[in-house]
């Protein structure tokens, strides 16, 4: 590709638009701020180590017994517990490319990674099932997948789960579940009773807008939940985080209205990107994946120079979070400028499709 030309002379940007972390663009609702403020009066005390109120609220919300819910300092803490439970020397099967934290955790905890390449940006569940051996203790499935945004339906998950031995845990990471607008009911939780080796991970970091407070949860069989709770650090979820999460559950209707705005932006931004000639798989999350190949790095640098921060995977693609409409407009303006200057042929050759 040609050397990327600089942004328009005289262009300046006062703000950095962070579209690299899949955060909610919305600040906390007043009730959330109030819950955090109220619990801040007691920070000389340790928080409730059992996260009792939040656990009960989540159990009620999902129609399960509280002993099937584990709360953690972000779902990443619970993923860590899952890899810890697998234990050093075990193997974890997961798709690649997927969430970057899986190989990091595996590496830290001495778990061997068996990565199965995505097929057309989607989990290749048949091959993943083939790769399960006697040493495989866990399979992680990110659904919708980060960074591609692609979704596996329940029928395919069910067919996969039928092939997994009951001794192997399946961790279904549904961090972006609330952004799914295809009919899939309660997601992995619908499969729960039939597959006791399935655990479903959710988070308050994305749709509920509490990334900075660190709180996520997992639902699974009581026996597995008990083991995972033992693996997490005591007092890891702060009182402000616990109270804010309880408040967020009570405000779910308002928060899900915000989610619907993000879904509308996802449709709008993807359509604009396709019209520019970019290859963008249909996303069911709060981000889009631009399969740019060797253009990924230069495109990411271009956006950085105009104050737009993306997640760049060199040689593969970039992931852009859906921000406020104004953030997304700024991104689309940068996309257009880049395309016109550096790749005017794309529209006619469809090279990025």
Per CB under 6 A, the list member of 24, 91, 197, 205 interacting with ligand PLP is: 205
Q: Residue with CB nearest ligand PLP?
A: 74
Q: Token pair of 29, please?
A: 């609702």
Q: Smallest gap, in angstroms, from Cβ of residue 348 to ligand PLP?
A: 36
Strands 216-219 and 198-203: antiparallel
Q: Smallest gap, in angstroms, from Cβ of residue 339 to ligand PLP?
A: 28
Q: Which of residues 296-315 bind ligand PLP (CB under 6 A)?
A: none
Does residue 175 touch ligand PLP according to CB under 6 A? yes
Our CB check for ligand PLP shows the closer of 217 and 302 to be 217
Our CB check for ligand PLP shows the closer of 76 and 303 to be 76
- Residues near 46 by beta carbon (within 8 Å), at least 6 away in sequence: 235
Per CB under 6 A, the list member of 91, 146, 283, 286 interacting with ligand PLP is: 146
* Residues touching ligand PLP, count (CB under 6 A): 14
Does residue 178 touch ligand PLP according to CB under 6 A? no
Binding flags for ligand PLP, 64-93, as an x/- string (CB under 6 A) = ----------xxx-----------------
- Pick the piece of the chain touching ligand PLP (CB under 6 A) from 62-70, 198-206, 258-266, 293-301: 198-206
Backbone phi, then psi, for 139, in 5-degree steps? -120, 130
- Pick the piece of the chain touching ligand PLP (CB under 6 A) from 54-62, 81-89, 151-159, 202-210: 202-210
Does residue 188 touch ligand PLP according to CB under 6 A? no
Kindly list the residues in this chain that would bind ligand PLP in the complex (CB under 6 A): 22, 74-76, 99, 142, 146, 173, 175, 203, 205-206, 211, 216
């Amino acid at each position: 590709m040609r050397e990327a030309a600089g942004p328009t002379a005289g262009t300046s940007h006062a703000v950095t638009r962070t579209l690299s972390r899949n955060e909610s663009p919305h600040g906390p609702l007043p009730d959330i701020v109030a819950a955090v403020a109220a619990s801040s009066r007691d920070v000389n005390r340790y928080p409730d180590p059992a996260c009792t109120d939040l656990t009960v609220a989540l159990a009620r919300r999902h129609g399960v017994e509280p002993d099937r819910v584990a709360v953690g300092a972000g779902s990443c803490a619970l993923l860590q517990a899952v890899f810890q439970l697998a234990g050093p020397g075990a193997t974890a099967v997961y798709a690649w490319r997927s969430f970057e934290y899986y190989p990091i955790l595996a590496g830290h905890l001495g778990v061997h990674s068996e990565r199965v390449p995505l097929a057309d940006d989607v989990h290749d569940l048949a091959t993943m099932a083939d790769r399960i051996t006697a040493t495989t203790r866990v399979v992680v499935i990110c659904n919708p997948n980060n960074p591609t945004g692609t979704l596996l339906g329940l029928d395919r998950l069910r067919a996969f789960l039928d092939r997994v031995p009951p001794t192997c845990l399946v961790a279904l990471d549904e961090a972006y579940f609330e952004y799914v607008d295809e009919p899939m009911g309660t997601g992995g939780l619908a499969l729960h009773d039939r597959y006791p080796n399935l655990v479903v991970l959710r988070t308050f970091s994305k749709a509920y807008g509490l990334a900075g407070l660190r709180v996520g949860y997992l639902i699974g069989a009581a026996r597995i939940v008990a083991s995972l709770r033992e693996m997490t650090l005591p007092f890891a979820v702060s009182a402000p985080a616990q109270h804010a999460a309880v408040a967020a559950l009570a405000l779910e209707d308002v928060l899900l209205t915000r989610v619907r705005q993000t879904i509308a932006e996802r449709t709008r931004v993807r359509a604009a990107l396709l019209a520019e000639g970019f290859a963008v798989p249909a996303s069911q999350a709060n981000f889009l994946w631009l399969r740019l190949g060797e253009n990924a790095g230069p495109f990411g640098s271009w956006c950085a120079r105009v104050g737009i921060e993306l997640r760049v995977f060199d040689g593969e693609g970039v992931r852009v979070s859906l921000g406020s409409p104004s953030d997304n407009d700024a991104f689309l303006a940068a996309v257009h400028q880049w395309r016109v200057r550096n790749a005017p042929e794309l529209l006619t050759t469809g090279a990025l499709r």
